[in-house]
């Protein structure tokens, strides 16, 4: 029997909470650290691990622990020899109580048949059922241990650091009493000085643009490095920063030969790909992938320069982009756990009402794309308590309405978010639907029925209260029972995406809201994400492609090497870089800027899971006016590869269960396989063969 | 204007939780640290302080912070000059967001009129109202800051350590390859070696008894100190221990001149006093005071040798003893806050059902003796949520019944604690009464009415369900609706003390339970505390004095220098020291052993508050057969001094509002003041003069 591999294990979520604590506190503004405005939770400082097991023969067991610990084997406390046990055949029980003030209490146990893994139980006396105390007994306190990929006893969780690789700048030019260094594109890492001589001070002014690096007074991030004579010839700054340009200013007699960086990154799976007949689109896809890559780190961050915080609204978009690029499931799980933090829940996630609801949607998408029900089950109680928190904050009409301390965000744009905001009711309704589904999957019939009922009632209420039949869309909000008649894109987009509109309403929303330039436009890639998805849902593929080329292409025209937090085409010059009242306040490498990855993968390559984990899925490629497109889309079993032009489709899938959908002016021919007609000019091909090259000839119907 | 004194401030309870974390983890058993079995909470790692204030003129303000911080003054973030501000006249706002992984986020702000104190607000987004989310808004998140006596900017909370003072042993004798050191009585501190020469190892085996110190294999605590040549001539061990004897065993060529200790202690107010005509009682009082003193430290500990943990049941007894000795209110507050810890509440305090209820009683006693309503008000929500937790765990009959993971303790003694245990219902009922009172005091009429109703119903239910009229007492428990008919002292004592028995029931309990040797006796000073108090309540003073002399005197006869965790007169030799299956498992300096302080102060010196903070109080001295007794009892205003013999009472009180109660064969004469008769042979004197010597002549009626 091959030896089983032990993993460092901990209380579920605690490594993520610990890492989140550290990552969240890396935000610096001109040398001052800004802690997040929400509560920052920490791992439990004292937990108990337990394992009941049976050995067939003598086994030598090595034990590694992060923290101090008390070890009880078969009811006996051990005072010595606690890192190596030898146990004989039969039933045994190991109990390890671990505590630490700073690291995550964690253990690593390696025997031959006994190894530390998720089957170990761990207890922290943590009342997730505090709202339902009557149900809580000791068995509720024992959870399955959490783990990741820490198999090396010498590399415990507290040692976790992202890897780095050397990165040379594109150019280094003298400027005043220093150097201007250009890395050619936005990047992230630790600056290094080489060939240092003498003593003195070097100041580093970082810029996502050259303007920012040269703005000593206003650049967002800076570092100072003070060295006396007793330094090594090379020096690495201790904190990683985002930059394309660095202006290094020298004070004193210090000199150095050159500046480079250690690029810091999360190792990611080989990404999906996208190519098409439009070079501008290809460049957009590549830039989007790079933008997402830079923001996909310990967690899905919002942006790499400024906050470096984990925001629920930003994260769920990153998740979707991730499913169409790296398909890295662990970063999704880490991010969801970090966002939730610990109980008691006293505020919405990130203090934002919308962001609590997005978190549920993040779980739904995770389940849909990965099919990982275990993760849902393990975290059902955490979802339940957050949903209860939200439900308890409804007003007398059963609707979400902001209370003091709540932030109703939706988007950066002019809007009145007082009173009952339709957008928030739609998100609550979707959260209820998702939780009803998860309750069913876990066999919690009472919960399922309750959430189903609440969702059904709320769906009706949303239309009854907010549908403005004159305007042909959902109004933005109601104050004191009075409808505002202000139509915004947000609730209409989401009602459309969630299927809350009937056919008539859908048609009205499309014409009178989505395609109506009189309705206040969206200025962030954040909400453009959903807007363009909604337009694709209504078949506006060509229109969407043009929009992508204009909006994201507009940033490229301005020299963007990664996509931005906000883009207003009408701005000029350095105006583009200002936000939050600061000249370089805007993040120019913002995860939500990378949404073309998702749009192109889902709506143009057309690959969508129909049931969790792609057990069944659809491939409905759409050229959107392009001559050809090709690429790959990840699935749990591997990547689906597809090429599409107006006469031919070539496809190879790693898993059965797919359904290729084509619109064709002639009956498509396939080898292997057989199309069937499904309506006028529409044909379907069941993809019953994995890892087989499908070659289809057809005649595209635009 | 004298400059106001700034205090280090923090999120309320966080210093106490932080200190509790560290203190709780000092338990070691033969070199292995045993973490507490309950959840150990930690302070918030990130909190925001806020102060709105108005200055009359320019003010220089110094700022000290424990942790990293972000400082915003009048809406502007400061990047430099953050430790010294100068603000002009007018309204201002200071917001300081502080975070730290290990220390309690705390600030110290010293201006002329502006100082950091409890009027500052602090927020951690911590949902005490999570069970009532609908009521929570941002204002609920801001609490008044906590503080203690940290006024020195150079001595922030994280530097807190108890002071020490040198202590020489009584004797040091050579023994085998080492020394046996005797400090003459139980003590606590850091061992020191003086005049060290050479390298080697010294092992220290600690003993509360000589038997324990000499039992290398079984003593509960030990230390090893390994020194190479490069040591200073004196060495202090890093961890403080409890001991009377230390057996130092030398390995290698190391030599030293002598052993001493640094006695570690909490500075306490000058204690109360007690003297009487019985020297044995005087010795008992002195030994009890010393026992309590050793256990009154960062918190009220259970014992100094073994757990050094904070247990709710032990603590509330210590509180009462403290009111009759040191009257140190801060240690009571620290202990109550540490016991409660953080939300969510997932288990009973210390995992013990009784101990959750005792915590409420601790607050009641604190309020009664100190009159400090602010502390009650500041912690009302913490009490409310714990009570809700308990109420949510009632069974279908509305009664407490243990669930898996609950420990129904009551006392070390044989008993069946399955099913509905009457003792627990009595404690719940008392907790409800207390909370009804606190709710009223804070103007929460709805809560008050609800708790009142629940208490009234439960009082009736207790008698209806558990009163065994044949046995003349409350039965211990009911299982599956069937009364056990097993009579134990515990429920009867508490029902009596809480006034839940009518006159007939009271008389029956006294004769058929309390004074009935056939009812299983109590073996711990812990429950003897309540038993003897109950006997005093029924007027058995002489009997109680004899019991005290026999029980506590019995320990003195065995050489005790402090009182024990458990005492079984029938045991012999070293049997006395064993407990928990370990030969020296018993704690010989256990706080609950010190109860004579309370009994003698309350029932013999007879000083009892009638209304909170001694606004009114009773002095009802009782000789209990002694020729004379004298002593002092602390009150918030100072100490009341009293001398009593059979003909004379001398009394000086620091506060008006008292009522002296005497039983006399003749009408007592007093100067100043005038007695009034209050029944046959009973007289009352209103004590209307503070700080005046009352001299009373009377004729004691035994």
Q: Spell out which residues of chain B touch residue A141, defining contact as CB-CB under 8 Å.
A: 346-347, 405
Q: Spell out which residues of chain A touch residue B130, defining contact as CB-CB under 8 Å.
A: 130-131, 343-346, 389
Rounded CA gap, A411 and A430, in Å? 19
| CA closest to A401 among chain B residues | B134
Dump pLDDT digits (tens) for A370-398.
Answer: 999 999 999 999 999 999 999 999 999 99
Q: Report which secondary-structure segment, H or E, holds A511.
A: none
| Those residues with Cβ within 8 angstroms of residue B61's Cβ, 6 or more apart along the chain or in another chain | B84, B85, B86, B87, B109, B110, B111, B114
3-class state of residue B374 by DSSP: helix
What's the pLDDT score for residue B693? 95
Mutation target for B interface from A130, A342, A381: give the one with most B CBs within 10 A.
A130
Q: Within an 8 Å CB–CB cutoff, is residue A95 touching chain B?
A: no
What's the pLDDT score for residue A98? 97
pLDDT average, residue stretch B65-86: 95
Is residue A676's pLDDT more than 70?
yes
Can you name the residues that pair with A665 across neighbouring β-strands?
Answer: none
Is residue B698's pLDDT more than 80?
yes
C-alpha A210 chain-centroid distance: 29
Dump pLDDT digits (tens) for B99-111.
Answer: 999 999 999 999 9
Q: Of B33, B133, B346, which is closest to A392 when you measure between CB atoms?
A: B133
Q: How confident is the model at residue A229 (pLDDT cuts 50, 70, 90)?
A: confident
Which of these, A363, A395, A393, A369, lies nearest to A381 by C-alpha position?
A: A363
Q: Spell out which residues of chain B touch residue A38, defining contact as CB-CB under 8 Å.
A: 125
| Percent over 70 (pLDDT), chain B | 98
Going from the C-alpha of B527 to that of each of A7, B307, B493, B523, the distances in angstroms are 48, 19, 9, 8
The residue with greater pLDDT, A142 or B676, is: B676
Q: How confident is the model at residue B344 (pLDDT cuts 50, 70, 90)?
A: confident
Phi, psi of B460 (to 5 degrees): -65, -45
Rounded CA gap, A391 and A379, in Å? 18
Is A345 close to B405, i.e. CB distance below 8 A? no
Q: Spell out which residues of chain A touch residue B403, defining contact as CB-CB under 8 Å.
A: 136-138
Dump pLDDT digits (tens) for A544-595.
Answer: 999 999 999 999 999 999 999 999 999 999 999 999 999 999 999 999 999 9
- Cβ(B694)–Cβ(B650) under 8 Å? yes
Is residue B702's pLDDT more than 70?
no
Rounded CA gap, B350 and B364, in Å? 20
Q: Spell out which residues of chain B touch residue A67, defining contact as CB-CB under 8 Å.
A: none
Dump pLDDT digits (tens) for B491-533.
Answer: 999 999 999 999 999 999 999 999 999 999 998 889 999 999 9
Secondary structure (DSSP) of A356-375? HHHHHHHHHHHHHHH--HHH
B22-39: b or e for each residue (b if 16 or more CB lie within 10 Å)? ebbbbbbbeebebbbbbb
Is B137 close to A68, i.e. CB distance below 8 A? no
B239: closest CA of chain A, how far (Å): 16
What's the pLDDT score for residue B413? 86
- Biggest CA–CA distance in chain A, Å, is 80
Which of these, A694, A697, A700, A695, lies nearest to A664 by C-alpha position?
A: A700
Q: How confident is the model at residue A133 (pLDDT cuts 50, 70, 90)?
A: very low
| Those residues with Cβ within 8 angstroms of residue B262's Cβ, 6 or more apart along the chain or in another chain | B164, B165, B166, B167, B189, B190, B192, B236, B240
Going from the C-alpha of A407 to that of each of A402, A419, A529, A539, B361, the distances in angstroms are 7, 12, 21, 34, 41
Q: Report which secondary-structure segment, H or E, holds A542.
A: helix A541-557
The residue with greater pLDDT, A413 or B285, is: B285
| Those residues with Cβ within 8 angstroms of residue B692's Cβ, 6 or more apart along the chain or in another chain | B652, B672
Task: Provide the chain A residues 632-661 that lie in CB contact (below 8 A) with chain B.
Answer: none
Is residue A48's pLDDT more than 60?
yes
| Percent over 90 (pLDDT), chain A | 91
A124: closest CA of chain B, how far (Å): 6
Q: Report which secondary-structure segment, H or E, holds B461.
A: helix B445-466
| Sign of the Cα pseudo-torsion (B273, B278, B284, B287, in order) | positive
Dump pLDDT digits (tens) for B585-599.
Answer: 999 999 999 999 999
B91 token code pair: 């309204």
State the residue for tokens 């005087």.
Answer: B282
Q: How confident is the model at residue A128 (pLDDT cuts 50, 70, 90)?
A: very low
Going from the C-alpha of B119 to that of each of B9, B52, B83, B371, the distances in angstroms are 10, 10, 21, 20
| Percent over 70 (pLDDT), chain A | 98
| Those residues with Cβ within 8 angstroms of residue A21's Cβ, 6 or more apart along the chain or in another chain | A40, A41, A42, B45, B101
Q: Indicate the burial class of B572 (C-beta count within 10 angstroms; 0-12, 13-18, 19 or more).
A: exposed
Rounded CA gap, B523 and B490, in Å? 12
* Half-sphere exposure of residue A666: CA atoms within 13 angstroms, side-chain side: 10
Is B343 close to A343, i.e. CB distance below 8 A? yes
| Those residues with Cβ within 8 angstroms of residue A457's Cβ, 6 or more apart along the chain or in another chain | A398
- Cβ(A324)–Cβ(A318) under 8 Å? no
Secondary structure (DSSP) of A455-482? HHHHHHHHHHHHEETTTTEEBSEEETTE
What's the pLDDT score for residue B138? 62
Q: Of A40, A97, A345, which is closest to B99 when you measure between CB atoms?
A: A40
Is residue B135's pLDDT more than 70?
no
Going from the C-alpha of A176 to that of each of A169, A182, A250, A251, the distances in angstroms are 19, 16, 9, 12
Rounded to the nearest integer, the mean pLDDT of chain B is 95
pTM above 0.90, yes or no: yes
Is residue A282's pLDDT more than 90?
yes
* A-B contacts (CB, under 8 Å): 161
Rounded CA gap, A16 and A534, in Å? 33
What's the pLDDT score for residue B246? 98
Rounded CA gap, A597 and B255, in Å? 75
What's the pLDDT score for residue B164? 98
Which of these, A17, A61, A591, A685, lies nearest to A307 by C-alpha position?
A: A591
ipTM confidence score:
0.91
Is residue A129's pLDDT more than 50?
no
Is A405 close to B137, i.e. CB distance below 8 A? yes
Rounded CA gap, B513 and B525, in Å? 18
Strand ranges (E), B459-542: 467-468, 473-474, 477-479, 482-483
C-alpha A259 chain-centroid distance: 33
What's the pLDDT score for residue B133? 36
């Amino acid at each position: 029997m091959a030896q089983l591999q032990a993993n460092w294990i901990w209380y579920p979520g605690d490594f993520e909470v610990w890492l989140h604590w550290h990552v969240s506190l890396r935000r610096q503004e001109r040398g001052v650290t800004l802690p997040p405005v929400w509560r920052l939770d920490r791992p439990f400082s004292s937990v108990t691990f337990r394992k009941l097991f049976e050995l067939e023969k003598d086994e030598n067991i090595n034990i590694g622990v992060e923290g101090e610990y008390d070890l009880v084997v078969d009811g006996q406390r051990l005072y010595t020899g606690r890192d190596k046990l030898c146990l004989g055949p039969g039933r045994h029980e190991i109990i390890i109580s671990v505590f630490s003030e700073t690291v995550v209490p964690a253990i690593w146990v390696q025997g031959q048949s006994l190894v530390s893994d998720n089957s170990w139980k761990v207890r922290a006396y943590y009342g997730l059922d505090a709202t339902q105390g009557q149900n809580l007994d000791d068995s509720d306190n024992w959870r399955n241990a959490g783990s990741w990929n820490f198999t090396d006893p010498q590399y415990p969780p507290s040692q976790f650091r992202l890897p780095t690789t050397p990165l040379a700048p594109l150019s280094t030019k003298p400027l005043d009493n220093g150097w201007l260094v250009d890395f050619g594109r936005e990047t992230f890492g630790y600056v290094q000085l080489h060939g240092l001589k003498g003593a003195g001070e070097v100041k580093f002014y970082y810029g996502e643009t050259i303007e920012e690096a040269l703005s000593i007074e206003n650049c967002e991030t800076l570092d100072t490095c003070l060295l006396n004579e007793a330094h090594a010839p090379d020096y690495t700054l201790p904190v990683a920063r985002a930059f394309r340009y660095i202006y290094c200013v020298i004070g004193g007699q210090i000199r150095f030969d050159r500046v480079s960086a250690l690029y810091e990154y999360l190792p990611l799976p080989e990404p999906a790909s996208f190519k098409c007949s439009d070079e501008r689109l290809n460049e957009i896809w590549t830039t989007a992938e790079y933008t997402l890559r830079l923001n996909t780190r310990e967690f899905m961050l919002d942006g790499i320069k400024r906050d470096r915080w984990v925001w629920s609204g930003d994260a769920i978009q990153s998740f979707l982009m991730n499913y169409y690029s790296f398909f890295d499931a662990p970063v999704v799980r880490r991010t969801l756990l970090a966002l939730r933090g610990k109980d008691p829940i006293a505020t919405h996630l990130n203090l934002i009402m919308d962001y609590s609801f997005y978190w549920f949607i993040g779980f739904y998408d995770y389940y849909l794309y990965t099919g990982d029900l275990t993760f849902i089950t393990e975290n059902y109680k955490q979802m339940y308590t957050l949903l209860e928190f939200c439900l308890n904050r409804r007003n007398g009409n059963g609707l979400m309405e902001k209370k003091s301390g709540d932030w109703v965000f939706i988007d950066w744009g002019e809007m009145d978010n007082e009173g009952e905001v339709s957008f928030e009711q739609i998100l609550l309704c979707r959260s209820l639907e998702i939780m009803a589904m998860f309750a069913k999957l876990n066999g919690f019939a009472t919960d399922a029925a309750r959430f189903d009922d609440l969702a059904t009632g709320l769906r009706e209420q949303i239309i009854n209260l907010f549908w403005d039949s004159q305007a042909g869309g959902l109004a933005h909000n109601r104050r004191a029972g009075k409808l505002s008649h202000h139509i915004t894109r947000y609730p209409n987009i989401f009602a459309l995406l969630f299927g809350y509109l009937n056919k008539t309403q859908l048609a009205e929303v499309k014409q009178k809201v989505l395609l109506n330039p009189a309705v206040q436009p969206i200025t962030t890639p954040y909400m453009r994400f959903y807007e363009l998805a909604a337009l694709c849902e209504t078949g506006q593929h060509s229109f969407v492609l043009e929009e992508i080329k204009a909006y994201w292409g507009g940033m490229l025209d301005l020299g963007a090497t990664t996509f931005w937090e906000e883009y207003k085409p009408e701005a000029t010059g350095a105006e583009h870089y200002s936000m939050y009242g600061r000249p370089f306040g805007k993040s120019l490498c913002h995860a939500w800027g990378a949404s073309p990855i998702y749009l192109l993968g889902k709506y143009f390559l057309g690959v969508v899971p129909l049931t969790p984990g792609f057990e069944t899925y659809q491939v409905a490629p759409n050229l959107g006016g392009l001559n050809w497109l090709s690429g790959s889309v990840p699935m749990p079993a591997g990547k689906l590869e597809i090429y599409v032009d107006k006469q031919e489709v070539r496809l190879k899938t790693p898993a059965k269960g797919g359904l290729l959908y084509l619109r064709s002016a002639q009956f498509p021919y396939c080898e292997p396989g057989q199309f069937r007609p499904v309506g006028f000019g529409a044909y379907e091909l069941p993809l019953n063969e994995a890892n087989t090259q499908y070659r289809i000839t057809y005649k595209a119907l635009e």
